[in-house]
Chain A
Amino acid sequence: MRYNRLALYGLLCVAAIMILSPVFIMISTSLKSMDEIRNGSIFTLPVDPGFAAWSKAWFGDCAKTLGEGCGGLSSSFMTSVKVVIPALILSVGLGAITGYALAAWKMKGANVMFAALLVGMFIPPQVTLYPLIIMIRELGIFGTIPGLILVHVIWGVAFTTMMFRNFFKTVPQDLLKAARIDGAGFWRLFWHVMLPISLPILGVAMILQFTYIWNDFLLGLTFGGRAGQPMTVALNNLVGSQFGEKEYNVDMAATMLTALPTLAVYLLSGRLFVRGIAAGAVKG
């Protein structure tokens, strides 16, 4: 029995090491110098850790680029922040209102609409990509931050609606009836009854939408243009550029910087993230 326990912990630790080692390699590589990378192994700890690569990844290398900024990630970090915050609030807000309307107000066709929305969550973004480009271009916001925000709201609303609708369906009908007899209208019922009880699901939706929008690549690549390049796109460009000698430490520092916001949200939110991730997994 004791040997069984030992084997169990052994297996779990092996699995944990396998999951963590790429993360460890990323961090330790980012703290090394290029000389050390060339002469050492990816598994060794940095002998003389330094943040030189981090600052190069963040501020860019002005000697390498010709004019026009220094190619660091700091500007695309700001773009990502400017896209994520409004897109997050709008998509979660719209999802909350839509989910509430579908769940709490008996309407003809509510189930049909919900089913249509649920199916929409599975549509690969590639299928609607070009018409969406035309729409955003016609609106005159192609290659801008507002354009990218709008696209994220369009793609996020199916998922947020599903989360809120499924949650509001569990609210006892008697509570809604009582509120309606007291004369509460659509918005009063929403603000004073439904929203306060939905705070946990609101948290889950916020965390997941943050993660999805921050981690998005395809929409940022397509709709961001040069001005609205989010961090994932900038990282891919940085790593993919064949300009001069490859600096793996800078690549890894840039990767770490891109991953940090969502990693921090994950580690701080713990249970909420886990609760929502299963529901949202269908969304690419």
Chain B
Amino acid sequence: MADPAQGVLQRSVAQEETQKEGRRRWRPQWTARMALIPAMMITIFCFYGFIIWTFVISLTRSRLLPVYKFTGFDQYARLFANERWWTAMQNLAIHGFLFIGGCIVFGYLLAILVDRGVKAEGLFRTVFMLPLSMSFIVTGVIWQWVMNPGLGLQEAVRALGWAGFEFNWIVRPDRSIYTLAIAGIWQQVGLCMALFLAGLRNIDPNIWKASRVDGIPVWRVYLHIITPMLRTVFFTVFILMSAIVMKAFDLVVALTGGGPGFSSDLPARFVVDHILNRQELGLGAAGAFVLLCTVIAVIAPYIYFELQKERSGRGH
């Protein structure tokens, strides 16, 4: 018969053992939590906290410095009555349509060409992605020179004998917004090509064999079979390019400076200009918040899609 006291002793030893075991298990977990603190602070304060802060500023009449005298949605009313803001928003729509559309069309075409089994495929890929490594500022400065109406492309083509050739969009208020799309597509088309190419490489080769047996022309296979299969790639490219368009600031600054006048201004530049240069903090904050809402409207489906993928991926 066991001594009850011994039983208690045994139990307490066992308890201590599990406690020790627990501590040994618990400690690395604790370190892991500690390691997350910097990134967590950045996420909570510098991302979401600062968004709220900007929203609060947008409700005040702050000009040079934040003044916490609330005026409701006055700044938003001012913003929506501001002609320059509407020019910028309209430009965002034009530029977004041309830039995203151009990147998708040309990127997809390049990917198809590269995927047709050419020699020196690596060389072509390297060339098409070369502009990606350069900054928007560099891109803007190069294209500003190429499109220079006095000494650039216009003059060069005229010198070749086509005296009436005109390409002075960069100094024309009604055309300058299109120059942004030209330079932007030049820079980003390689990224779209790479994404589409990865998609094309994932296509089951049997589809090609089957279509060859059936004698379907290549262009129809691409149009009616391959393109629908790549719809998630199209979706991803669309989202990535929209994110770039809505943040577009550097390229406008370097290429046109928003000009002539404000004819090629974009919302991102409007916001920075009002916050940094024009002492219109409240108005700039309101613009920033509207910009954020636009981004969320476009990005939300993508984030949902990504997290959904993540969730279903965990089942494997």
A→B interface (CB under 8 Å): 8-9, 11-12, 15-16, 19-20, 22-23, 25-26, 29, 37-38, 41-43, 94-95, 97-98, 100-102, 105, 107, 111, 113, 115-120, 122-132, 134-135, 154, 157-158, 161, 180, 183, 185-187, 189, 211, 214-218, 221-222, 232, 235-236, 239-240, 248, 251-252, 255, 258-259, 262-263, 265-267, 270, 273-274, 277-278, 281-282, 284
Contact = CB atoms under 8 A, between A and B. Distances in A.
The A interface is mostly helix, strand or loop, or mixed, namely helix
Contacts of B177: none
Given A22-B143, A222-B276, A127 B51 contact: yes
Contact of A124 (B110, B136, B253, B291): B291
A131 B65 CA distance: 11
B48 A116 contact: yes
B146 A22 contact: yes
Contacts of B186: 19, 22
B10 to A, nearest CB: 26
A189 B299 CA distance: 36
B194 A16 contact: no
A187 B155 contact: no
A129 B275 contact: yes
Contact of B303 (A20, A119, A186, A255): A119
Contacts, number: 260
Contacts of A274: 125, 129, 194
B285 A217 contact: no
B145 A251 contact: yes
B135 A259 contact: yes
Contacts of B299: 119, 122
Contacts of A161: 39
Interface residues of B, number: 94
B300 to A, nearest CB: 9
A107 B36 CA distance: 11
Nearest to B193: A15
A129 B176 CA distance: 28
Interface stretch (B68-76, B77-85, B241-249): B241-249
Given A12-B124, A185-B28, A281-B240, A20 B137 contact: no
A127 B294 CA distance: 12
B88 interface: no
B135 A252 contact: no
A52 B307 CA distance: 55
B249 A218 contact: yes
A44 B177 CA distance: 28
A240 B292 contact: no
A40 to B, nearest CB: 8
Interface in B46-93: 46-51, 53-54, 57, 66
Given A19-B186, A42-B153, A239-B254, A232 B135 contact: yes
B134 A128 contact: no
Interface stretch (B12-20, B113-121, B205-213, B220-228): B113-121
Contact of B141 (A9, A129, A251): A251
A154 B36 contact: no
Contact of B29 (A8, A107, A128, A132): A107
Contacts of A263: 130, 133-134
Given A19-B127, A122-B295, A248-B148, 13 more contacts: A12-B124, A15-B124, A38-B151, A42-B153, A115-B303, A127-B54, A127-B291, A129-B275, A131-B53, A183-B24, A235-B137, A259-B134, A278-B191
A95 to B, nearest CB: 8
B288 A129 contact: yes
Contacts of B258: none
23 contacts: A19-B130, A19-B186, A23-B130, A25-B145, A107-B32, A116-B47, A123-B47, A126-B275, A128-B53, A130-B284, A131-B50, A161-B39, A215-B136, A215-B138, A217-B137, A222-B276, A239-B254, A248-B151, A255-B138, A262-B135, A266-B130, A274-B194, A277-B132
